[in-house]
Structure 1
Amino acid sequence: MRALWLNRAMSSSHAAHAAPPKRTRSRTRTRTRTVVGLAVLGLLMVVVAATAWVGIRVLQAKDALEAAVPLASTIKDQVIAGDSDAAGRTAAELADYAQTASSRTSDPVWRTFELLPFLGPNLQVVRELAAVVDDVAQNAVTPLAELAGSFDLTDLKPVDGSIALQPLLDAQAPVAKAHDALARATTNVDAIETGQVLEVVRSAVTRLQTVTVETAGTLDGLNRAVTLLPAMLGANAPRDYILLFQNPAELRSSGGIPGALALLHTDQGAIELTQQATSTSFKQYQAPVLPLSDEIRSIFGDVTGEFMHDVTMTPDFAQTGALAREMWRLEFGVEANGVLSVDPVALSYLLDATGPITLATGDELNAGNAVQLLLRDVYARYEEPAQQDAFFAAAAGAVFDAVKSGRADPTKLITALARAGAENRVLVWNADEAEQAVLAGITLSDGRPLSDDQTNRFGLYLNDGTGVKMDLYLYLNMTTAIGQQTCREDRRPQYALEVTLTKTAPSDATTALPGYVTGGGSFGVPLGSIKTVVSAYGTPELQNLGLTRDSVEVPYHPATDATYPVSTIAIELAPGESTVLRFAWLGPEPFAGDLELRSTPLIALHETT
């Protein structure tokens, strides 16, 4: 009995001691659930707060970016209008908006949300957009606005034949800084991935890409100008430049024959014409004055380096400049620092800036009649080529004097030069390689057409083979079209350039037109007909597939010029006759970019279809 009692007592005692742990575990579990619940609630509150934080910042960044973008155009308009004070205030406002957008999109919370699916890529792109806009505002717009506050276009207006160089020198640093910022912005915008974002975000990226590319291109030209102009204007030492006045009455690859020439002397901003000449001032040299490549000789002949009026046969103005410089040295003993070129159409643009000019002959030369007077009327008035060239030289000299005297409106003058440059009517070559490198790849240097990843650029160059002035009467009309198709299994594209030439001279051209226009049947071309040598340039990596004339394969001259495949053919057209040439090439790999054509600048420009 005692043993039984002890067992029960021990069991009761054990039970009494075991009960408290059950209540402890219960309380522990309760506390754990409470802690977890609070943690979840806290995390939820953090997420909600962070989401609200990001949402608010998205709206703030959106408002700031939308306010900033229109201000860029406003600043441009204010600078053009000469209101530098307003431009400075607008630039400061733009910088504030851009900085706000950048700061709202760069905190750790925002960056964390970028890890989320769907939402994250959109937030990342917005942040990258804001960073680009802020960079442009701080490092491009602000320095340019500050420059506008201390710089006026009238500062570049010649006074007593001299241009002040200090404003150009002062502009070099801020323009270079802005140029670098725009170039960086263009690269950064192109690198933004938009494959997984909303259309509204993608559209914003596309818009910024367009703006940065266009602005960077403009600023690139400005940077080259302020870098190069002081040296060319004699800031460091006196300079001499040969001026070629190309006459498109007789076509050449870069425009026309150099009928009139002049020597331009610069020293510390002072500019003067020290000598004038015509193409007849230069003899025919027995051999090219400088070595010509076998390729150039094959396509254009030795005459390119033997006659002054043929130095523009090549589309490479650097070679044209070197040849003209050497001929001038041989004839006059002066080794120029470079060569400049303009044509009558460019002169007409300049006359819009200077206003009408009265020539020594009593003729009024203005923007409306310059081309007609210089390329048609002068030939009806003077029968001797020397007289025609002298009139042309006098007219060009008068325009130069008007610009030099400060008569030209600075804004209109810059607009005129920009337009002429874009149309390849103003060309520049510097003998100094470092200075010439500043012009590399732009229309002023007029080299062979340069392609890039986005655009394949082709070339079409015309040289007159009649030896007469048929083109001055606009009796050679040209239309062009370019395209590509992909039909091969290897997806290699085929390219085609179609050129339609039409001679619109009257049927009685042989008797109705004077001999200086028709050539009188010289150079082996029937009287009244016109002969044009057409050279089409593909891009360097293309395979030449030849050409057809009116859909029929015809003989042509295949060649290579500095790795460019070239097809050349001479075309004779009788009055009223028209012909269609189709040049073809095969590309090495698929290409989805744009196509462009650079061609000889005719008197009347045309659009390539």
Structure 2
Amino acid sequence: MPTGTATTGMAMVTATPRYRPSCRHPPRSEPAARASSRDRPAFCLNRAMSSPRSAHAARPKRSRTRTTVGPVVLGLLVVFIAATAWVGIRGLQAKDALEAAVPLAMSLKDQVVAGNGAAAALSAAELAEFADTARSRTSDPVWRAYELLPFLGPNLVAVREVAAVVDDVARNAVMPLAALAGTLDLNAFKPVDGKIALQPLIDSQPQVAAANTALTRAAANVDRIDTGNVLEVVRSSVTQLQTVTVDTAVTLDGMQRAVTLVPAMLGADAPRDYILLFQNPAELRSTGGIPGALALLHTDQGSIELTQQASSGSFAQPDEPVLPLGDEIRSIYGDITGQFIQNVTMTPDFAQSGALTREMWRLAFGVETNGVLSVDPVALSYLLDATGPITLATGDELTADNAVQLLLSDVYARYEVPAQQDAFFAAAAGAVFDAVKSGRADPTKLLTALVRAGAENRVLVWNADEGEQAVLAGTTLAGARPVSDSTTNRFGLYLNDATGAKMDLYLDVHTAIGQQTCRADQRPQYAVEVTLTNTAPADAATSLPAYVTGGGSFGVPLGNIKTMVSGYGTPEVQNLGVTRDGATVPYHPATDATFPVSTVGVELAPGESTVLRFNWLGARPFSGALELRSTPLIALHEATQLDFSCQGSSQ
């Protein structure tokens, strides 16, 4: 047997040698050491690739990828958490700063009104600091980056914009006004020897103008804040800020107009003459009442003198209007508007009333005045709250509580002759004027009284100078027709007495306004409703003086009240007619300076009531506010919201 062969089968199998190539590298001195790896057996190559040493060399690349991604993700997570915490903390800081500013703003308002300059300056500085904190906390790059996130982003944008508005108001409105409070004291405007110091008003004009500009800008900016996708708490804050900025902007706008116009009207540059109308709402006219008494005011360097008084009997009664009226006014109110001083206020445009009054005064007395002012007995009662009771030459004590009753009712029972009634009324108005001029009035209460009377359209002003009148444009003092804008549709309701007497003391008036969308094209229907009631006693025909009932001079039964009611729509609406107590009634359609007008005559016996509804169709969809401007009655009732069902076509 060959050497090495097993003697048994088992031995043969186990002992048979198998060839296995060597993977050991030959010595470098041998030629094989220079052999290429491609000349090595595949087995050796495989072993080499899978050897521990080779595996150790391959792992680092995959390990570096894992160790790089992990820290990056962790780092980003840490950054996100930190940034979120940053935004949250700064948001809370901004919230605290804004909340701290609220009581300061309220205190500042009281300090400015009180003329406490030192306290106002301190409060303003604190307010500005809080506002700056809120702005800075909501305007850094991290905050701005988070504004890009869905849901959270719109809230952050709104908060940042709120903080920016507050900061703008604090720096550019509050600070100038606070500085003004240190130099401007309301007591400085109390007349001394019948003269008001005008220089403080003139000196305040730059600060008031700067503050007014800032508030106007702030009101516009807050109105642009998008609250469509924000939390309710954010939306509520924006709404509150809108209310505050708009209300304050309106007040400050009035303040700027006052400091601009008052010095000129009080003769800062040259002496002035103004006609003062006392409108009597016991006999209604569109802007208040019949002008039964008038006076001439002369101003010069802040001094005010009542130099002449007149009554309706002092004026001639021409056959033609003293100035051209135009077909529109003649159609609605008649030529009598421009013929008789008692009727110049029939039109709701006080600029036209002023021009007619000025011309009638020129024709009667040869004096060409600078303008016309108007007040009524209710406004006088407000002034009496500032002056305190006044004793008249007749021995009557005129107070805030009894002025209206005394001037609009008792006087007619006491005096039967119209000239005596007018004289009493003029004397009472003159006494109130003298009390204000003497410095008796509390300046804060006087300002409050004037603001209230102005808001109720009981004080009206017309300047013959167009530039000065432009300063009043858009204010209640101008006494213009109701002008609408993009956010508010304004309608008008004006009453003119047709009884020819003083029965409107017993006319109770309630108004309502509303809209309803009934058509497929979304054009809205508008309705203005007025409820009129004759509250005179059942025996008015015999218990009331003839001068009050009219004595039947104009064909109206004693005790009845006859009124011409004119409803003014916005210029673009379509007139849908008038109903009375739910039934369609005839009316007089007309146009007054592009305003569509419907006029209806109503006569009521004592105790009788009726409801008129003026209907209009809008030109396009509208979702804004509605406002009703009307004749300032003795007793004012705020217009309520009118809910009504759809009428007419739905096309």
Q: Which residue of 2 aligns with 1:347?
A: 380
Q: Which residue of 1 aligns with 2:404?
A: 371
Query: Is it true that 1:234 corresponds to 2:267 in the alignment?
Result: yes
Alignment of 1:317-328 (within 5 A): 317-328=350-361
CA spacing shift, 1:69–1:511, aligned 2, 3 Å: closer
2:348 is matched by which residue type in structure 1? Answer: P
Query: Is it true that 1:307 corresponds to 2:333 in the alignment?
Result: no
CA contact (8 A) 2:279 2:289 kept: yes
* DSSP 3-state at the match of 2:210: helix
* In structure 2, C-alpha distance between the alignment counterparts of 1:579 and 1:248, rounded to whole Å: 20
Cα offset, 1:405, TM superposition:
0.7
| Structure 1 gap segments, 5+ residues each | none
CA contact (8 A) 1:351 1:399 kept: yes
From 603, 609, 612, give the equivalent of 1:578. 609
Alignment of 1:313-462 (within 5 A): 313-462=346-495
Alignment of 1:252-291 (within 5 A): 252-291=285-324
* DSSP 3-state at the match of 1:203: helix
CA contact (8 A) 2:113 2:186 kept: no
CA spacing shift, 1:117–1:369, aligned 2, 3 Å: same
Q: Which residue of 2 aligns with 1:247?
A: 280
CA contact (8 A) 1:521 1:528 kept: no
* DSSP 3-state at the match of 2:215: helix
1:373 is matched by which residue type in structure 2? Answer: L
Cα offset, 1:575, TM superposition:
2.6
2:362 is matched by which residue type in structure 1? Answer: R
Q: Which residue of 2 aligns with 1:105?
A: 138
Query: Which stretch shows the higher mean deviation, 146-155 or 499-508?
Result: 499-508
Alignment length (residue pairs): 606
Alignment of 1:75-94 (within 5 A): 75-94=108-127
* In structure 1, C-alpha distance between the alignment counterparts of 2:80 and 2:507, rounded to whole Å: 74
Q: Which residue of 1 aligns with 2:35?
A: 9
Alignment of 1:59-138 (within 5 A): 59-138=92-171
Identity of aligned residues (%): 76
Q: Decide which structure has the larger Cα Rg and report it.
A: 2
* In structure 2, C-alpha distance between the alignment counterparts of 1:134 and 1:256, rounded to whole Å: 47
Query: Which stretch shows the higher mean deviation, 140-149 or 311-320?
Result: 140-149
Summarize deviations over 1:449-502 as a string: whole Å, max 9, x none.
12222222211111111111112xx32222222222222222221112222222
Q: Which residue of 2 aligns with 1:481?
A: 512
1:364 is matched by which residue type in structure 2? Answer: E
* In structure 1, C-alpha distance between the alignment counterparts of 2:149 and 2:397, rounded to whole Å: 73
Q: Alignment RMSD, CA only?
A: 2.3
* In structure 2, C-alpha distance between the alignment counterparts of 1:442 and 1:353, rounded to whole Å: 23
Cα offset, 1:422, TM superposition:
1.0
* In structure 2, C-alpha distance between the alignment counterparts of 1:508 and 1:134, rounded to whole Å: 65
Query: Is it true that 1:494 corresponds to 2:525 in the alignment?
Result: yes
Cα offset, 1:10, TM superposition:
2.5
| Structure 2 gap segments, 5+ residues each | 1-25, 641-651
Q: Which residue of 2 aligns with 1:30?
A: 63
CA contact (8 A) 2:115 2:184 kept: no
Q: Which residue of 1 aligns with 2:626?
A: 595
Q: Give the TM-score taking structure 2 as reference length.
A: 0.89
Cα offset, 1:206, TM superposition:
1.3
* In structure 2, C-alpha distance between the alignment counterparts of 1:215 and 1:89, rounded to whole Å: 21
CA contact (8 A) 1:284 1:306 kept: yes
1:476 is matched by which residue type in structure 2? Answer: L
* In structure 2, C-alpha distance between the alignment counterparts of 1:218 and 1:188, rounded to whole Å: 18
* In structure 2, C-alpha distance between the alignment counterparts of 1:100 and 1:230, rounded to whole Å: 40
From 546, 550, 553, give the equivalent of 1:519. 550
Cα offset, 1:24, TM superposition:
6.0
* DSSP 3-state at the match of 2:164: helix
* DSSP 3-state at the match of 1:524: coil
* In structure 2, C-alpha distance between the alignment counterparts of 1:5 and 1:361, rounded to whole Å: 147
Query: Which stretch shows the higher mean deviation, 524-533 or 119-128?
Result: 524-533
CA contact (8 A) 1:129 1:205 kept: yes
Q: Give the TM-score taking structure 1 as reference length.
A: 0.95
Summarize deviations over 1:306-353 as a string: whole Å, max 9, x none.
101100000000110011011111111111111100001111111111
* In structure 1, C-alpha distance between the alignment counterparts of 2:620 and 2:388, rounded to whole Å: 52
Summarize deviations over 1:358-399 as a string: whole Å, max 9, x none.
112222211121111111122222221111111111111111
